[in-house]
Homo-oligomer: A and B are copies of this chain.
Amino acid sequence: MRRLRLGMVGGGNGAFFGAAHRAAAAMTGRFTLVAGALSSDPERARDSGRDLGLAPERCYTNFADMAGREAARDGIDLVAIVTPNHLHAPAARAFLSAGINILCDKPLTATLPEALALEQAAAQSPSLFGVTYTNAGFDMLREARAMVAAGEIGAVRMVRVVFPQEWLATAAEATGNKQAEWRTDPAKSGAGSLGDIGTHAFHLAEFVTGLTATEISAEVDTFVPGRRVDDNVTAKLRFAGGAKGLLWISQVAIGETNGLAIDVHGDRGSLSWSVASANTLSFAPLNDRRRVIDRASHGTAVKGLMPPGHAQGFVEALARLYLDMAEQIEARRDGRAPAADALLLPGIADGVRGLRFVEAALRSGATDGRWTEI
């Protein structure tokens, strides 16, 4: 089976996310990296490309060039966009125009209007479009989704999702921290914690339950003096069908490097998962004992990339999304339907939904927590 040809926008030398994406792609055994606009700095773009073994003529310094020339030579099968948020929209638009499949980091864009425009452009392009909500690649979250879908916890009553982090507990953006700088700059990141981690949390709530969150009542705070974006959000949610939810995201939660966790309570059972124990899922059935479900063991529905007992970490989760995209690309090429689980790859609609969540949370926060349609 011919390997798919991968290109990358962003992710030059020293960028962790670029390296993680390349490892994830490699882990699937389905992609070869062949082109890149790895940096807007020509020297860094060239050096990064050389170090990665790219042909010099496929080391671009801007994504528009790359999209045009790769399309012209029947080049890459997929482009991964791993730039800061504000560049997602223009980069994605270029590759949509070129008819090249896209895997784009989240949040989809910095603002909702951009996202909606991009969604329209995508509707008119033949390109497949995936969004790397990486957590959707954890086997045990897919297991949770499958269990909810199979009715194992009955009708959902409550969803609780939290994503606390500590890294912006003080004014890190004033101390030269580059990540902190662009992520707290409204021009580059859109919203603050809402865009950066809120979109992850919100996606998970809908991904696991299969439900649509219809309304939000949010309290949007900025606790660090001088910060220009939100850094702590508490919210109630209402879901279609009557389930209720609570959401907490924070980037000022001291003691948490990554506290992502979700639990879902239904009328016949409950499920809970946290990234700190990513390889297990807890399941409590009505009137019975709680189960601890180990990844890839004892009747799990999800067939992942890894055997039981080998910890699935960040890169392995991301690899799952690359595998889904490979399957989608190959299925289309071969004129067949993709395997069902490949459709769990978050798509552009999920990306847009993240921006709708951000916008609704901000509006609710600005109106004293009024219930606001998402």
Contacts and interface: CB of A to CB of B under 8 A. Distances in A.
A95 interface: no
B223 A16 contact: no
Task: Give the interface size class of chain A.
Answer: 35 or more
A270 B257 contact: no
Nearest to A291: B289
B314 A310 contact: yes
A170 interface: yes
Contacts of A291: 289-292
A165 B313 contact: no
B307 A16 contact: yes
B314 A306 contact: yes
Interface in A305-319: 305-316, 319
Interface string A295-310: 1111100000111111
Interface stretch (A77-85, A248-256, A340-348): A248-256
A371 B369 CA distance: 8
Interface stretch (A24-32, A55-63, A205-213): A24-32
Contacts of A371: 368-369
A285 interface: yes
Contacts of A69: none
Contacts of A298: 287-289
A50 to B, nearest CB: 8
A327 interface: no
Best-buried of A51, A158, A232, A277 by chain B (most CB within 10 Å): A158
Contacts of A219: 217, 236, 238, 244
Q: Give the number of times this chain occurs in the complex, counting copies.
A: 4
A64 interface: no
A117 interface: no
B284 A254 contact: yes
A19 B27 contact: yes
Contacts of A285: 254
A241 B120 CA distance: 46
A153 B314 CA distance: 31
A20 interface: yes
Contact of A257 (B1, B158, B309): B309
Best-buried of A246, A255, A371 by chain B (most CB within 10 Å): A255
Interface string A18-57: 0110111111010010000000000000000001110000
Interface string A216-233: 010101010000000010
A326 to B, nearest CB: 12
A293 interface: yes
30 contacts: A2-B51, A3-B52, A16-B305, A16-B307, A20-B310, A23-B23, A23-B27, A26-B27, A157-B221, A157-B223, A157-B252, A158-B234, A158-B248, A217-B217, A217-B369, A219-B244, A232-B244, A234-B245, A246-B248, A252-B267, A254-B269, A254-B286, A255-B269, A257-B309, A258-B309, A276-B279, A289-B292, A310-B314, A313-B316, A314-B316
Given A22-B27, A253-B270, A311-B314, 17 more contacts: A16-B307, A19-B27, A27-B315, A157-B223, A157-B252, A158-B253, A167-B309, A169-B286, A217-B236, A254-B285, A255-B284, A276-B279, A283-B289, A289-B292, A289-B297, A315-B316, A368-B371
